[in-house]
Structure 1
């Protein structure tokens, strides 16, 4: 280890930005797609917009869970590449597709059960004819999402973050164009409304997967892995390892998402105006989260490469660099949210009462950017070292034992209203970030003793 060169911070930062910025662009593209979907469906019919909001909220947890599971592949690929094990990369990737497909089948079965009881979930009767077909299309999409995620994490683990970015942006463009054709019945296509939006989304997800398969099949940079991928067979050890990494990450991300959803339920107890303000602020905060998580994903790749090389001094320096970048992004996001708060609010609503409540939440939004940055940095640092089981327990403690009770106490017991409920977010995120940091310090100390 002493013969390994300690890379300067400038080089670490440059490598992280080169890896992370394409991921960030792809993530922001997904936000733009979500906004475009909402606007286009909303212009067709209010009932369809309400139905889409219900189905998307139901599926959001499943998709976050699925994405979290697929993240288990990245550190394995990164470590194998860091150690120069080309055959192992092809074998693990092949088994990851099998693992992802298995989880997709499981999630599809769970969501199909929800579908069977959709009429018992308290939704207005007039929405059910729109909800049911759109729900089925989302259900079919789950397998394609999981397989695409397998290819995406494979590419990102090999430091190829540009290919997933371009495929995501192309898929988003195809989805928006398909929406225009099938929601409104343009150029002679049938006017299917919300069902058309679901068809467009399903087709774009299938096309993105097929394009990724084509890239891996023909691109020169993947040639060295193709033979190993084709010759590999089911490997029990790989399958167990992928599940051992994937489930804790999926549960950690799922619990974080569930805590936010439960907080929304608490805000709903306060009335429609606080709930509308809450939804606006959550939509705005997603921008920051996606940017930080894009850089966090790049950090996990860098950390996994240094793990494969057993280069722990550079691993620590990579995490310090990642922390600096993500905190800088949090400062920029906070300034942006504060300086353009009025135009942001106007872009969502002109209701004066809602605007007053949104304005009162700006400070909480800014504070929680730094908790989000902290927990994303060290969650991804731990993911890169494959130390993921403690993350699951830390997430449970931070979000269910700390955040939700704090939100209830501040919002209801102590009469803080929606501002009090929002105290839960920085409380949970800072707790998670601090505990992830402590765990990473311990993990690094153990690695450097070896």
Structure 2
């Protein structure tokens, strides 16, 4: 999971050397991309618990059919999301964002929009291998993609080895190339794996099933909405900070980017919870199911406490990873604002980790409807309302934006954990204490 975010991290660090306006442009462009990614990635998570359940129950044909129909969904979604973002680029000019930032973001968004198609198709293969408890293969592919991204960015952003210096556009092309490499690498790894090759061999000859497509939709659509609500919540922080000014927007992007990096550790543990809960559901071992999920909750809590301490101790150093050393007023202001945001980010690490692991465990149970409403209420009603009021109607500014983010995460983490306890208690009560 860290791999997807690391692509954006590399773009931010390298483009940040060009200036604060360029960094803000990356932030604005990615706000559109993240919304589209959330729909595609969220929907694709439906594949994992179904594959995990079928694998635990020793039903290989069922697993292959789920993979095939999940791949069909991701092909369609990848195309739709690419076209949606590509055709909506002009919206940036009517959002009240700084004109300089929009002019830089426009070409960036064009190229990164194209990269959505290979990314979403990659997700089908990734979620399949995750469901088979072989998560390292997607990791290998994303590590390779990130190496490619660094090299291409270096050449195209700064104009090395005879290439023109394309700046922000160079970063976008680097992202596209790295995502093409990523999907090709994973397909090759699956194709030549002695066990996984069975599931990809002859896959296009599989019988089409409306029942399977509907089953994936019923699980995938609410999951997509859950991720969409959260990403839209964080994207709104980018837009609100843009209303405050380009320095606030750049500072927000720095804090958000590093927070996203650490969040991906919890996201990975969420996938582990989803896989193991799906396995135990397939076996009917509901007591073990709850025990395993609680152990993942505890591990996530301990890791996020460590991250919180690091954020507090390094809050003044982190901004300079993205900014060129300078005494210019804009640069100093961005660093100062970002430093204050890391104080809030330290606390929401804990709640962000808790809510994403709870969502993963609930997806493993194939419980998605009520959690979707919890996400909507927490992010849309609690978090966004708090964010807008504190940032635009009090002197808190960008700091108020992050207090709003924290409030939404606190609400969602508590409610989702209570939902998990309710569901597992009901399963154990109705089915006995099978172990």
The TM-score normalised by the length of structure 2 is: 0.87
Deviation of 1:420 after TM superposition, in Å, equals: 3.7
Are 1:397 and 2:371 counterparts? no
CA distance in 2 between counterparts of 1:214 and 1:273 reads 44
What CA deviation, in whole Å up to 9, does each residue of 1:396-448 have, x standing for no partner? 10011111223344455565544444322222112111111122122213322
- Say which is worse superposed, 152-161 or 288-297, in terms of deviation: 288-297
Structure 1 residues 43 and 428, CA gap change in structure 2 (3 angstroms): closer
Question: Is the 1:86–1:224 contact (alpha carbons within 8 Å) kept by the matching residues of 2?
Answer: no
CA distance in 1 between counterparts of 2:349 and 2:269 reads 14
What CA deviation, in whole Å up to 9, does each residue of 1:310-361 have, x standing for no partner? 1111100111100110000111101111222232244445655555544544
Q: How does 1:303-322 map to 2 (within 5 A)?
A: 303-322=277-296
Question: Is the 2:14–2:322 contact (alpha carbons within 8 Å) kept by the matching residues of 1?
Answer: no
CA distance in 2 between counterparts of 1:236 and 1:132 reads 39
CA distance in 2 between counterparts of 1:177 and 1:264 reads 28
CA distance in 1 between counterparts of 2:387 and 2:102 reads 33
CA distance in 2 between counterparts of 1:45 and 1:422 reads 24
Q: How does 1:205-224 map to 2 (within 5 A)?
A: 205-224=179-198
Question: Is the 1:44–1:184 contact (alpha carbons within 8 Å) kept by the matching residues of 2?
Answer: no
Are 1:171 and 2:142 counterparts? no
CA distance in 2 between counterparts of 1:91 and 1:145 reads 21
CA distance in 1 between counterparts of 2:91 and 2:390 reads 35
Q: Of the candidates 336, 349, 368, which is equivalent to residue 369 of structure 1?
A: 349
CA distance in 2 between counterparts of 1:413 and 1:127 reads 24
- Say which is worse superposed, 36-45 or 230-239, in terms of deviation: 36-45
Are 1:438 and 2:408 counterparts? no
Q: How does 1:52-201 map to 2 (within 5 A)?
A: 52-115=26-89, 120=94, 131-189=105-163, 191-201=165-175
CA distance in 1 between counterparts of 2:395 and 2:159 reads 50
Structure 2 partner of 1:260:
234
What CA deviation, in whole Å up to 9, does each residue of 1:93-124 have, x standing for no partner? 01111011111222233223303655555667
1:186 partner SS: coil
CA distance in 2 between counterparts of 1:159 and 1:239 reads 23
Deviation of 1:237 after TM superposition, in Å, equals: 1.1
Deviation of 1:32 after TM superposition, in Å, equals: 3.8
Which 5+ residue runs of structure 2 have no aligned equivalent?
none
Are 1:289 and 2:263 counterparts? yes
Deviation of 1:290 after TM superposition, in Å, equals: 1.2
Structure 1 residues 421 and 446, CA gap change in structure 2 (3 angstroms): same
2:173 partner SS: helix
Question: Is the 1:87–1:228 contact (alpha carbons within 8 Å) kept by the matching residues of 2?
Answer: no
CA distance in 1 between counterparts of 2:24 and 2:185 reads 33
Deviation of 1:246 after TM superposition, in Å, equals: 1.3
Aligned length: 424
Are 1:379 and 2:353 counterparts? no
Question: Is the 1:411–1:418 contact (alpha carbons within 8 Å) kept by the matching residues of 2?
Answer: yes
